[in-house]
Amino acid sequence: MKINIYYGGRGIIDDPTLYVIGRMARVFEELNVRVEHFNLYELKNGITTLSGSIKDADGIVLASTVEWYGVGGLLTQFLDALWLYGNKEKISNLYMMPVAMSTTYGERDGMTWLSTAWEILGGLPCDGLCGYIAETSVLESDPACNDLIEKKAENFYRSINQKLPGLPNSNQAVKTRISLPKAQDLTPQESEQLSQYASDESYVQTQKEDIQELTNLFRSRLGSASGTESTADYPERFRNAYHASPGVRAAYYINLTDLPAKSFRVIAEGNQCSAEVLAAAVEGDVSLSLTQEVLENIVNGRMTFQRAFMAGSLRLKGDFTLLRQMDSLFPFLEAKA
């Protein structure tokens, strides 16, 4: 059995929630349960990708401290990621115990909010733990409180071990009828990367200028002869432009949409780069689909792979991080300069 503990507080020394989940973790370990901690304040730049961390868990603990009002934004971001990207089938069989400690007011509201959120996600909430703790030292020295924490942890273990069912509730009915999340075509990594770009005004302005420049370039070519040059020299141009990078291992499959019979493969492996023309379109670690005109702009240093993707001129299947790596492995823009 494995239990994940997600802590959404700020990580301050006197945080009572840290003491509570630490005590619970010791109980779980005594019961031969594997425990994994996730401190969201340390992982805040990658919270979107944490939705996959539940895949091998039998139960989770959502813990936070109410310092002013509510459970805080980090835990909310994590639940948002589960709603958008989480495996709903896995969540439907996953037990959750809410823990909300307060240094001001609202611990019970915080615990209720976590339980309700988990129900709407389709999961199985269990009895939680909440309390007002002005000073952690008081909690540490109170045997009755420590016994209660341990009993709550044991009860959560029993709920998971015995697979106790839950009665249907209206929150799940709402999810089923009207609150279905929209399908996401992007992975969490791509979504987070694009949201960072969208919030950067200077980057967005640069992209608009690049798109306008490309629009003018394409417009100037309208009406010209549609004949295209052979693609036989592209593999050699990629080999010549390759910037050796130790430890790299990636296979790129480039398919020209306006020349269906013309595709080629580029394999980057450490200090070596191989490339060859293929007879038909195929897919690999990263599959790129673009027109020959867009590819010409890239290999001639007029734009980059990433800019082509952001402009919608390039379609991608596979690992988004490998696409970002292409511009450093094949720096056509630097070669032009």
Asked if residue 285 and residue 246 are part of one domain, the reply reads yes
Residues 166 and 278 in one domain: no
**pLDDT one digit per residue (tens) for the chain, 337 residues:** 999 999 999 999 889 999 999 999 999 999 999 999 999 999 988 898 899 999 999 999 999 999 888 888 899 999 999 998 899 899 999 999 999 999 888 999 999 999 999 999 999 999 999 999 988 888 888 999 999 999 999 999 999 999 988 777 666 665 555 555 555 555 666 666 666 665 566 766 777 777 877 776 665 555 444 444 456 678 888 888 888 888 888 888 888 887 766 788 889 888 888 888 876 666 677 888 888 889 888 888 888 888 888 888 888 888 777 887 888 888 887 655 5
> Do residue 28 and residue 165 come from a single domain?
yes
Tokens for 285? Answer: 């670690």
113 lies in the same domain as 10: yes
**What does each C-alpha distance from 90 to 24, 39, 95, 191 come to in angstroms?**
24, 22, 10, 22
Q: Are residues 109 and 253 in the same domain?
A: no
Cα distances from 312 to residues 199, 211, 228, 234, 289, in angstroms, run 18, 10, 22, 22, 11
Asked if residue 206 and residue 144 are part of one domain, the reply reads no
Return d(Cα 334, Cα 260) in angstroms, integer: 30
Q: Count how many domains the chain has.
A: 2
Does residue 257 share a domain with residue 168?
Answer: no
Question: Residue 307 is part of which domain span?
Answer: 200-215+229-336
Q: Are residues 36 and 82 in the same domain?
A: yes
Instruction: For residues 152 and 126, give the distance between their C-alpha atoms in angstroms, rounded to a whole number.
Output: 10
**HSE-up of 2 (CA within 13 Å, CB side)?**
8
Q: What is the pLDDT of residue 225?
A: 41
Residue 27 one-letter amino acid: V
Q: b/e string for 145-175 if b means 16 or more Cβ within 10 A?
A: beeebeebbeebbebbeeeeeeeeeebbeeb
Residue 180 pLDDT: 53
Locate 229 and state its tokens. Answer: 């040059």
30 shares its domain with 164: yes
Assigned domain for 190 exists = no
Residue 66 domain-assigned (yes or no): yes
Residues 337 and 332: their CA atoms lie apart, in Å, by: 9
Does any domain span residue 222? no
Same domain, 165 and 249: no
**Domain membership flag for residue 195:** no
| Token pair for 195 | 């949201």
Q: Is residue 24 part of a domain?
A: yes
Q: For residue 167, is it left (φ>0), alpha (ψ between -120 and 50) or beta?
A: beta
- pLDDT score, position 208: 75
Question: Of 65, 148, 62, 149, whose CA–CA distance to 102 is shortest?
Answer: 65
CA distance 82 to 52: 8
Q: Verify that 161 and 206 share a domain, yes or no.
A: no
Structural domain includes residue 253:
yes
Can you name the residues that pair with 318 across neighbouring β-strands? 286
Q: Name 226's Cβ contacts closer than 8 Å, sequence gap at least 6.
A: none
Q: What is the CATH number of the domain that holds 152?
A: 3.40.50.360
For CA atoms 63, 194, 244, 252, the dihedral sign is positive
Specify the pLDDT at position 234: 83
CATH code where residue 293 lies: 3.30.1050.10
Q: Residues 276, 127: one domain?
A: no
Please report, in angstroms and rounded to a whole number, the separation of the first and last CA atoms in the chain: 57
Q: Is residue 186 part of a domain?
A: no
Task: Report yes or no on 187 lying in a domain.
Answer: no
Q: What is the structure's pLDDT at 227?
A: 41
